[in-house]
C-alpha cells in the first residue's frame, strides 16, 4: 500500500427542500464505512466525515481534500446522498440546502468533482457514489422532476489521469435506477447501511472481497464482490465502474489472508439434528461435528467448523459450550512460539529452526507472513522452518504472523548477527551485546512473502515437536503441566458425588413419604424425612455440585490461558472431563434445588 491514505465521506440525509425525500441510510453509511476504512488492520485510512453540509461547505471540503497531495497518496471519496440531473443533462450531488430549480448554485456539480480528481497530484484516487438518482424525484412533486436518463459514469469518463496509477469510480447504480436502502427506496426503511455500502463494508471487514486470495483487496476484487452482493440482494440495482489505472490499486488488507476454503456442508440429517427440539439430539449432533472437524479433507472440516460456530452463537449455554470446546481444538498452536538463533556470524549460511503445528489438519492449515525482510519461512510436512538472513549486522527481533481459518498467532524470533563471530545458540530471547547497526526496516504488507503452511491430507502431527538439526534454547520448550487435567478430574469426581448423594436423598424421601401415608392423620412427614436422613445428602448434593462447576471452570480457564503447557491429548482429555462433569452437575443441582424449595414451602402443611 502507499505511504499515505486519506478518505472523505460525505453523507447527506436531511434536506430543506420538501421535494427531496429524507434518506435513512447515509448516517449509517458514514458510521460503518468510517469504522472499516479507519481500522489499521483493514483500510488504514485517515478518515474525515462531512454530514448534512451546505453546497458551499461541500465544495470547500472536497477541494481541500484533493489539494496538497503527493504521488505517494491514495485518496478515497464517498458520496451518500441524492443525485439530481439538470435540464442540460449534468449530474449534481444534493446538499442540505439544495434547491432543485437552482442546481448550479445550491448543489455540487459532478464536473467540479471531476476537475478536482483530475487536478490532484495524488497517485491514486477512488470515488464511491452511493446516490439515490431516481429517488430524488418524489411522487407528485413539481419541484423536482426527471427528464431522461442519468448516465452517471459518463460524468467521470472524460479526463485522462495525470497521476502515476490513475483513478477509479464505483457507483451504486446507473441511469435511472434507484440506489436502494435495504428493500425500499427510503420511506419506512430500517436504520442500516444501504445495500451498496453494506456490501463494501462487509467485503472489507470480513476479507471476503479478497477474491484472488492474495491477502489484499484490490479495486477489481471489491467491485466484483460488491456487484454480486448487490445483484443478489436486489436484481433491480446494478453497480457500475470505470477506471483509468496503471498497475494494481490495493484498497485494504484482507484479514483472512490466503486462507479461503470452500466448505462442504454437513449432511442434511446432521443439520436436521442440529435443529431438533430435543437437547440430547442436538448434543449428539455437536459431537458428530466435532468428529468431522478432525477430518483430513479440509472442505469437510470447514463445513463442520461453520456449523459449530453457529451453534456456539445461538444454542443454549450447555450445547454452546460443547461447540466452543470443539472449536478451541482448531486454534493455531505453534510449538515453540519463540525462536532464538543466538549469535550468528555475518554472511554465514542461513540457520534453520523448525516449528511444529499441532492439532487437526484444519488447525495446521494457515498462512505464515514474516513482518521483517530478514525473516524467511518455508513450509514442512509438520509445520514450518524459519531462516534468518545474516546480511544485516546487529540485534534482530521480529515476528511471524500466522493466520488460520479461526484465529491468528505469532512466532517471535530473535538473533544477534556479528562480524567474525562463531555461530552459537543463545540462552534465550533478549538484546545481544552488540547493537552496531539498526535492524532492517519493516516491509510493507503488500510486499511481504506469505507462505501457506499445512497441505490437505497430511497425517496428524506427533505429540512432541520433531527434532531439529539446529539446537534450540531450553526456554523454547515450555514445561508440561498436569494442573488442568487434575482439576477436570476433580470436577468429575465431585459431579459424580453430587449425583450419588441426590439418589440417596431421593430414596430416603420416597421411604419417608410412604411411611407418612401409612400413619394417616397422626403422622408428620418432616419427622419422617429427618428420621431417614434425607436432608443431609440433599445438602451434600448442592455443595458438591456447585464446587464441581467451579473446579471445572478453573480447569477450562487454565487450559485457555496456558495452552502451550499442554499436549493436544491432555487438552482434549481435559475438555472432555470438564464437559461431562458439567453435564452431570447442572441437572443434579437443579433437581436438588427443586427438592429443597419443595421441602421448605410444604413443610408447614405436612
Q: What is the CATH number of the domain that holds 391?
A: 2.60.40.10
* Share above pLDDT 90 across residues of the chain, in percent, rounded to a whole number: 15
Rounded-to-integer distance, Cα 393 and Cα 391, Å? 7
Give the residue from 446, 476, 506 where a domain finishes: 476
pLDDT at position 291 is 92
Q: pLDDT tens for residues 491-515?
A: 888 888 888 888 888 887 787 777 7
Domain span at residue 272 reads 268-328
Is the model's pLDDT at 34 over the cut of 70?
A: yes
| 427 found inside a domain | yes
pLDDT at position 487 is 85
Contact 125, 75 (CB under 8 A): yes
| 172 found inside a domain | yes
Is the model's pLDDT at 247 over the cut of 60?
A: yes
Q: pLDDT tens for residues 269-282?
A: 888 888 899 988 99
| 191 found inside a domain | no
Rounded-to-integer distance, Cα 552 and Cα 53, Å? 58
* Same domain membership, residue 397 and residue 322: no
* Same domain membership, residue 433 and residue 469: yes
Rounded-to-integer distance, Cα 154 and Cα 164, Å? 23
* Same domain membership, residue 111 and residue 16: yes
| 415 found inside a domain | yes
Is the model's pLDDT at 469 over the cut of 80?
A: no
Q: pLDDT tens for residues 380-414?
A: 888 888 888 877 778 888 888 888 877 788 899 99
> Binning pLDDT at 50, 70 and 90, where does residue 589 land?
confident
> Binning pLDDT at 50, 70 and 90, where does residue 485 land?
confident
| 263 found inside a domain | no
Is the model's pLDDT at 567 over the cut of 90?
A: no
* Same domain membership, residue 36 and residue 152: yes
Name residues whose C-beta falls within 8 Å of residue 81's C-beta, 6 or more positions apart in sequence: 10, 11, 12, 13, 23, 26, 93, 94, 95, 131, 132
Q: Which has more confidence, 160 or 539?
A: 539
Segment of 6-10, 281-285, 552-556 carrying the highest mean pLDDT: 6-10
> Which of these, 177, 105, 93, 104, lies nearest to 129 by C-alpha position?
93
Give the residue from 189, 216, 248 where a domain finishes: 248
> Binning pLDDT at 50, 70 and 90, where does residue 63 land?
very high
User: At 196, which helix (H) or strand (E)?
Assistant: helix 195-206
* Same domain membership, residue 70 and residue 33: yes
According to DSSP, the residues that pair with 85 across neighbouring strands are 91
DSSP for 436-501?
-SPPPPBPPGGGS--EEE--TTPPPPPSSPPP-SS---GGGSPPP--HHHHHHHHHHHHHHHHHHH
Note the pTM of the prediction, 2 decimals. 0.45
* Same domain membership, residue 571 and residue 455: no
| 94 found inside a domain | yes
| 285 found inside a domain | yes
| 223 found inside a domain | no
Report CA 369 to chain centroid distance, whole Å.
18
* Same domain membership, residue 100 and residue 169: yes
Give the residue from 449, 476, 503 where a domain finishes: 476
Q: pLDDT tens for residues 548-564?
A: 899 888 888 887 777 66
Q: Residue range 56-68: average pLDDT?
A: 95
Instruction: Domain count for the chain, please give it.
Output: 4
Q: Round to the nearest angstrom and report the end-to-end CA distance of the chain.
A: 80
Q: Which has more confidence, 70 or 184?
A: 70
Is the model's pLDDT at 76 over the cut of 50?
A: yes
* Same domain membership, residue 126 and residue 11: yes
Q: What is the CATH number of the domain that holds 67?
A: 3.40.50.1460
Is the model's pLDDT at 312 over the cut of 80?
A: yes
Distances in whole angstroms, Cα of residue 287 to Cα of each of 300, 462, 576, 579? 15, 24, 11, 12
Tally the residues of the chain: 606
* Same domain membership, residue 145 and residue 284: no
Q: Which has more confidence, 422 or 199?
A: 199
Burial (0-12, 13-18, 19+ Cβ within 10 Å), 497: buried
Q: Residue range 61-90: average pLDDT?
A: 89
Q: pLDDT tens for residues 257-268?
A: 556 677 888 888
Three-class DSSP category at 574:
helix
Q: pLDDT tens for residues 527-553?
A: 666 676 777 888 888 898 899 899 888
Contact 115, 130 (CB under 8 A): no
Three-class DSSP category at 29:
helix
> Binning pLDDT at 50, 70 and 90, where does residue 438 land?
very low
pLDDT at position 168 is 84
* Same domain membership, residue 288 and residue 322: yes
* Same domain membership, residue 147 and residue 10: yes
pLDDT at position 31 is 87
Contact 197, 29 (CB under 8 A): yes
Q: pLDDT tens for residues 184-214?
A: 444 444 445 678 888 898 888 877 888 776 6
* Same domain membership, residue 459 and residue 374: yes
pLDDT at position 146 is 41
pLDDT at position 207 is 78
Rounded-to-integer distance, Cα 392 and Cα 396, Å? 9
Amino acid at each position: 500500500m502507499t505511504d499515505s491514505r486519506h478518505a472523505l465521506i460525505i453523507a447527506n440525509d436531511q434536506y430543506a427542500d420538501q421535494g427531496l425525500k429524507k434518506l435513512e441510510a447515509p448516517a449509517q453509511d458514514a458510521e460503518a464505512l468510517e469504522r472499516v476504512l479507519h481500522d489499521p488492520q483493514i483500510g488504514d485510512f485517515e478518515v474525515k466525515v462531512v454530514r448534512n453540509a451546505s453546497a458551499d461547505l461541500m465544495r470547500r471540503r472536497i477541494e481541500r481534500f484533493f489539494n496538497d497531495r503527493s504521488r505517494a497518496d491514495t485518496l478515497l471519496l464517498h458520496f451518500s446522498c441524492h443525485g439530481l440531473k439538470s435540464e442540460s443533462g449534468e449530474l449534481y450531488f444534493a446538499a442540505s440546502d439544495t434547491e432543485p430549480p437552482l442546481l448550479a448554485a445550491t448543489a455540487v456539480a459532478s464536473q467540479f468533482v471531476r476537475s478536482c480528481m483530475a487536478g490532484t497530484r495524488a497517485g491514486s484516487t477512488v470515488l464511491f457514489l452511493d446516490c439515490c438518482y431516481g429517488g430524488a424525484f418524489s411522487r407528485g412533486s413539481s419541484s423536482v422532476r426527471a427528464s431522461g436518463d442519468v448516465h452517471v459514469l459518463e460524468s467521470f469518463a472524460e479526463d485522462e489521469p495525470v497521476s502515476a496509477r490513475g483513478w477509479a469510480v464505483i457507483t451504486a447504480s446507473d441511469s435511472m435506477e434507484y440506489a436502494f436502502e435495504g428493500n425500499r427506496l427510503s420511506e419506512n426503511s430500517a436504520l442500516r447501511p444501504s445495500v451498496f455500502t453494506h456490501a463494501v463494508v462487509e467485503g472489507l471487514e470480513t476479507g471476503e472481497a479478497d477474491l484472488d486470495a492474495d491477502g489484499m483487496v484490490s479495486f477489481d476484487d471489491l467491485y466484483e464482490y460488491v456487484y454480486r452482493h448487490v445483484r443478489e440482494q436486489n436484481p433491480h440495482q446494478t453497480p457500475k465502474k470505470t477506471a483509468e489505472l496503471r498497475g494494481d490499486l490495493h484498497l485494504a488488507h484482507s484479514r483472512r489472508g490466503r486462507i479461503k476454503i470452500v466448505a462442504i456442508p454437513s449432511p442434511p440429517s446432521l443439520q436436521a439434528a442440529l435443529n431438533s427440539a430435543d437437547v440430547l439430539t442436538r448434543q449428539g449432533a455437536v459431537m458428530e461435528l466435532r468428529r468431522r472437524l478432525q477430518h483430513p479433507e479440509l472442505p469437510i472440516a470447514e463445513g463442520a467448523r461453520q456449523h459449530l460456530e453457529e451453534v456456539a452463537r445461538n444454542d443454549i449455554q450447555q450445547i454452546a459450550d460443547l461447540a466452543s470446546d470443539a472449536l478451541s481444538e482448531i486454534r493455531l498452536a505453534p510449538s515453540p512460539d519463540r525462536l532464538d538463533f543466538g549469535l550468528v556470524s555475518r554472511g554465514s549460511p542461513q540457520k534453520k529452526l523448525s516449528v511444529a503445528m499441532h492439532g487437526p489438519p484444519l488447525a495446521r492449515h494457515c498462512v505464515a507472513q514474516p513482518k521483517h525482510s530478514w525473516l524467511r519461512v518455508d513450509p514442512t510436512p509438520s509445520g514450518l522452518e524459519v531462516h534468518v538472513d545474516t546480511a544485516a549486522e546487529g540485534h534482530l527481533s521480529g515476528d511471524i504472523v500466522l493466520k488460520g481459518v479461526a484465529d491468528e498467532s505469532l512466532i517471535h524470533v530473535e538473533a544477534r548477527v556479528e562480524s567474525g563471530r562463531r555461530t552459537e545458540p543463545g540462552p534465550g530471547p533478549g538484546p545481544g551485546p552488540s547493537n552496531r547497526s539498526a535492524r532492517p526496516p519493516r516491509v510493507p504488507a503488500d510486499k511481504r512473502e506469505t507462505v501457506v503452511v499445512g497441505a490437505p491430507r497430511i497425517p496428524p502431527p506427533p505429540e512432541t515437536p520433531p527434532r531439529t538439526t539446529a539446537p534450540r534454547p531450553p526456554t523454547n520448550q515450555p514445561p508440561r503441566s498436569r494442573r488442568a487435567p487434575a482439576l477436570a478430574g476433580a470436577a468429575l469426581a465431585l459431579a459424580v458425588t453430587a449425583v450419588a448423594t441426590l439418589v440417596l436423598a431421593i430414596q430416603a424421601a420416597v421411604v419417608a413419604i410412604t411411611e407418612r401415608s401409612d400413619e394417616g392423620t397422626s403422622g408428620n412427614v418432616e419427622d419422617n424425612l429427618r428420621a431417614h436422613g434425607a436432608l443431609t445428602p440433599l445438602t451434600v448434593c448442592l455443595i458438591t455440585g456447585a464446587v464441581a462447576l467451579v473446579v471445572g471452570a478453573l480447569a477450562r480457564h487454565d487450559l485457555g490461558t496456558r495452552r502451550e503447557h499442554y499436549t493436544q491429548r491432555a487438552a482434549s482429555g481435559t475438555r472432555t472431563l470438564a464437559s461431562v462433569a458439567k453435564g452431570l452437575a447442572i441437572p443434579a443441582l437443579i433437581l436438588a434445588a427443586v427438592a429443597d424449595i419443595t421441602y421448605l414451602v410444604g413443610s408447614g402443611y405436612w
